[in-house]
């Protein structure tokens, strides 16, 4: 469906006013400014990709097979791990191919498809992190009603909503970006097709596109983040009222992993998409993008396993089998 939609927007390779030919393919410069360590980078990114697949895959497996982990919290953690695998698979395989072959070209349609899936999965991550915060809020602030509120049907509905709600908006945003005329350089100074570096290549006035990026970032990044922040204000307030020190410690431990992931993801994404255009630089954008596209998925299994006794116990049982 996406391919047929984008194919209708494919630019024609013909001369336009001003004797400029329309761009029909792009070049992802990526890490071409580091020619002496291409093999080293390939090895590092390959190990990172394997660790993300194995680590998040193990979390999905143990939350399915261990009866102790059949709870709403681990249901959402399993969804989050599945999302991380999909999210990183949009960008990392292309990075590995570019580093291995040194062929950094990507078709117009391939670039549009990559961007669309990246944006859709990024929106899903924002909403899913908000859903996980809501789950912790209900568990700590309304523990007696938790089984009633967070029943299986509600968990499935929240997860499906997180996965699907960003799709129409992000398809529209991708179509808007690729409707711009690209009639100059086709070199994207980034390691994947993202909005800021692509808008830089567009001809003509891009102020409307920049405004739309800002509005969408507010809707899909800032609003979920503020919801998460509000949830944790109430959670912390409730925890501090607990009379038992052990109870406070246990409550904090169930939330700390989620807070770390939220800070890593939202911090880098907010700086990337909400800071003024004048402050954008290719090097900074690449470094920030590495955090929310690669670093967070890589640390997700470590954060949720090393800081969680139930997960560590389930992992030991699985490995012993």
User: What was the pLDDT predicted at 65?
Assistant: 87
User: What was the pLDDT predicted at 11?
Assistant: 57
Ramachandran area for residue 260 (φ above 0: left; ψ -120 to 50: alpha; else beta): alpha
Percent of the chain with pLDDT over 70: 87
The model's pLDDT over 261-315, given as tens digits with 9 standing for 90+, comes to 888 888 777 776 666 655 556 677 777 778 778 888 888 777 776 667 777 787 7
Query: CA dist 320 to 69, 311, 313, 316, Å?
Result: 17, 14, 11, 6
Asked if the model's pLDDT at residue 21 lies above 60, the reply is no
Q: Which of 62-66, 122-126, 227-231 has the lowest mean pLDDT?
A: 62-66
Confidence of residue 160 (pLDDT cuts 50, 70, 90): very high
Confidence of residue 16 (pLDDT cuts 50, 70, 90): very low
Q: For residue 203, give every residue at least 6 positions away whose Cβ sits within 8 Å of its Cβ, in sequence order, or none.
A: 20, 180, 181, 182, 183, 184
User: What was the pLDDT predicted at 14?
Assistant: 41
Q: For residue 259, give every residue at least 6 positions away whose Cβ sits within 8 Å of its Cβ, in sequence order, or none.
A: 232
User: What was the pLDDT predicted at 282?
Assistant: 66
Confidence of residue 18 (pLDDT cuts 50, 70, 90): very low
191 versus 276: the higher-pLDDT residue is: 191
Residue 215 half-sphere exposure, CB side, CA atoms within 13 Å?
9
**Stretch 99-117: mean pLDDT:** 92
């Amino acid at each position: 469906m996406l391919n047929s939609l984008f194919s209708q927007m494919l630019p024609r390779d013909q001369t336009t006013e001003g004797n400029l030919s329309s761009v029909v393919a792009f070049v992802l410069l990526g890490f071409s400014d580091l020619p002496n360590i291409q093999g080293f980078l390939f090895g590092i990114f390959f190990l990172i990709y394997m660790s993300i697949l194995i680590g998040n895959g193990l979390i999905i497996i143990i939350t399915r097979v261990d009866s102790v982990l059949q709870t709403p919290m681990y249901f959402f953690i399993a969804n989050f791990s599945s999302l991380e695998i999909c999210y990183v698979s949009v960008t990392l395989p292309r990075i590995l191919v570019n580093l291995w072959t040194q062929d950094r070209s990507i078709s117009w349609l391939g670039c549009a498809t990559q961007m669309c899936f990246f944006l859709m999965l990024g929106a899903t991550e924002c909403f899913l992190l908000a859903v996980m915060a809501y789950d912790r809020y209900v568990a700590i602030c309304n523990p007696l009603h938790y089984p009633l509120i967070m029943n299986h049907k509600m968990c499935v509905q929240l997860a499906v909503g997180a996965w699907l709600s960003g799709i129409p908006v992000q398809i529209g945003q991708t179509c808007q970006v690729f409707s711009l005329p690209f009639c100059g350089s086709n070199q994207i100074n980034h390691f994947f097709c993202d909005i800021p570096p692509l808008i830089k290549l567009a001809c003509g006035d891009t102020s409307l596109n920049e405004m739309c990026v800002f509005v969408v970032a507010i809707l899909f990044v800032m609003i979920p983040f503020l919801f998460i922040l509000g949830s944790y204000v109430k959670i912390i307030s409730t925890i501090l009222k607990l009379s038992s020190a052990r109870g406070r410690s246990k409550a904090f431990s169930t939330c700390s992993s989620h807070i770390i992931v939220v800070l890593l993801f939202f911090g880098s994404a907010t700086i990337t998409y909400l800071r003024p255009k004048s402050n954008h630089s290719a090097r900074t954008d690449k470094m920030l993008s590495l955090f929310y596209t690669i670093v967070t998925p890589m640390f997700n299994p470590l954060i949720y396993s090393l800081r969680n006794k139930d997960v560590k116990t389930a992992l030991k049982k699985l490995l012993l089998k």
